[in-house]
Structure formats: C-alpha cells, structure tokens
Amino acid sequence: MAKTDTKTQILDAALELISQDGLKATTTKAIAEKASVNEVTLFRHFESKEKLFLAVIDREAMVRFEIIQHEIEPSGDLVNELTMIGSFMSRGMLGKANFFKLMVMEVNRYPEIFDHIGAVPMAAIDMLEKYFDKAKTMGIVRNDVDSEIMAIAFFSYLFRILVTTAFLGDDIFMKNRTDDGMRQFAEIFVNGVAKRSD
C-alpha cells in the first residue's frame, strides 16, 4: 500500500471517530483499526495523537467549497432562487458536517480552531449579503433592512439543519420534510407571515 493511501485512510478514520466521540474518548487503537492499519503505523506517520488531530484539521480546512465562492445574479423570482440557493448551500455544508462537529467540540481545548469554524458560514453569509445587495438595486428587495441581517436571518435556517444533522443525525425539527421545508421557508422569508391588506 502506498504511503499516501495509508495516510489518507488514517486521516479519514480519525475524522470519523473523533467527530463521533470527541478527541479524548477516541483511542489511537480504534483509529488504527478503522483505518485497517497497525497502530504503530499511525504513530510512524503522525508522531502523536494530537498531531494526527491537527493534521485532520489542516486537511479538512484546505478543502473550501468553491460552491459558495461565486456570486449569483438575482433573476427576479426570489422564492425559487432562494429555495435553490438554500438547498445548494445546505447540501454543501452537510458534506462537512463531521468536520464541523469535530471543530465545535474541540474548540475549547484548541482555540486555534476557532477561525476555521466561522470560515464557511461567513462565506455563505457574505454571498447571500451580496445577493441581497444586488436584488436591492434591481428593486425587488426592500431597502430599509440591512442586507447582512437578511443574510444572517436566511442563513440561520440552514445553520439549524447543519447543527441538528451533525449532532443528532438528522433534522429533528423538520424530520423528513426538510426539502419541502426549504421552499416554504423561502416563501415566508420573501413575503413574510403577515396577511397582506391587498
């Protein structure tokens, strides 16, 4: 087996187990077993459990989703577009749910993780903010509310899905209605819950 493959296997196993049980409760023996390698091999590659842990973070933090990078031009149909953006971002973030949980659980003991946790959410909020800014200039979104607040409000719904899925296995509040819920949320977000006078 090539060296790089072994390393990858160990990193994968470490990510999965540490995100499940926490760093302290995860043994190097268990990681090695999950990676189908000898425990000694683990130490030969990473020296210590802590360095392995930090290597996991380094590797995962590298992979940004390009997904969120590019900006989106508002088309006019806010509800439809936000439904798609929301579903898209949600899927992207859920792909990193394990890593998110791992960081959040260990940030107390490793404060240097802190900045990584916010990175993806901040990028998502940033993209949404720009989207709303453009929609304002197009005259389809209100001018009297800060775009960042809009972005954070919208993002909060996605964040709830991420957190519940990462920590509890699935969206315990929406259960199996998550997909349908996104459209209904977008509807509320765009038009509000208040009854229109017209």
Partner DNA sequence: TTTGCATGCAAGTGCTTACTTACATTATGG
Partner DNA sequence: CCATAATGTAAGTAAGCACTTGCATGCAAA
Distance CA 51, CA 43 (A): 10
Phi-psi region of 145 (alpha: psi -120 to 50; beta: other; left: phi over 0): beta
Token couple for 183: 């459209």
Residue number with CB closer to a second copy (1 or 111): 111
DSSP label at residue 24: T
Give how many residues touch a second copy by CB under 8 A.
55
Residue number with CB closer to a second copy (6 or 133): 133
DSSP label at residue 176: G
Residue 52: closest CA among 61, 42, 62: 42
* Interaction pattern, residues 5-44, with DNA; x per rule: CB under 7 A: xx-------------------xxxx------xxxxxx-xx
Q: Does 2 bind DNA (CB under 7 A)?
A: yes
Query: Would you tell me which residues interact with a second copy (CB under 8 A)?
Result: 20-25, 78, 104-105, 107-109, 114, 117-118, 121, 125, 132, 139-143, 145-146, 149-150, 152-153, 155-157, 159-160, 163, 167-168, 172-174, 181, 184-185, 187-198
